Amino acid sequence: MSAEWLHLPFTLTAATLAATLSSCSSGHGRRPEIEPDRPDLAGTWLLDDLASDDPWESFGGRNPADPGLLGGNRQLTDAMSNILAAARAFKIEQNDSTVAITLANGRQYVFHLDGRWVERRVEGLGIVFARARWMDGTLEVERRLDSRVRLTTTYALSEDGRRLFVKFRKSPPGRIIKFHRVYDAAPG
């Protein structure tokens, strides 16, 4: 699997790989290699549709294929649609220095947790800068697609470790777009 630094936490072709991902173990207990102020997000997560926002409603009910939604960038709009489709189920692997998120479509995104910006070329999008860091017990992943478009995703674990709350924010150009999704830990 290729590691990419663009993280749009919502890639969603889950139907085919959800069963595979849900059979993976869900490690929600404290592991000694994870710092105490950093929640252990590791495990397989399944979207709870009823508790989650419909992301496209945040776009004003417009057609997700409309390139005007994300600053006129057709490639970004296509990437967003694909990511939303594949993020119905995903797996997180975590250690002290990195978090790897593997979507249902097999795409993997690896983030260093030291807050440094990493530059990668992403097909169809050009240069993407990304960083991940812990902020008040929440994982924040920020991507900049150019000098204007900023995508921020935060991951917060429920107190019992059985739910993952994911918030997405797209900053200008255009209007700010925000939505949240709720995931349940896969059985196992």
Per-residue pLDDT reduced to its tens digit, 81-114: 666 676 889 999 999 999 999 988 888 889 999 9
CATH class of domain segment(s) 3-185:
mainly beta
User: How far lies 53's CA from each of 117, 127, 167, in Å?
Assistant: 29, 29, 10
Q: How many CB atoms lie within 10 A of CB 170?
A: 26
Distance from C-alpha of 126 to C-alpha of 148, rounded to nearest angstrom: 14
CA angle 179/127/129 to nearest 5° reads 55
Per-residue pLDDT reduced to its tens digit, 10-63: 333 332 233 333 333 344 444 444 455 789 999 999 999 999 988 777 766 555
Confidence of residue 172 (pLDDT cuts 50, 70, 90): confident
In sequence order, which residues have a C-beta less than 8 Å from that of residue 53 and are 6 or more positions away?
A: 179, 180, 181
Q: Above 70 in pLDDT, residue 73? A: no
CB-based contact 38:137 (threshold 8 Å)? yes
What pLDDT is attached to residue 77? Answer: 62
Domain boundaries, the chain: 3-185
In sequence order, which residues have a C-beta less than 8 Å from that of residue 130 and are 6 or more positions away?
A: 5, 6, 7, 111, 117, 118, 120, 141, 142, 143, 144
Confidence of residue 129 (pLDDT cuts 50, 70, 90): very high
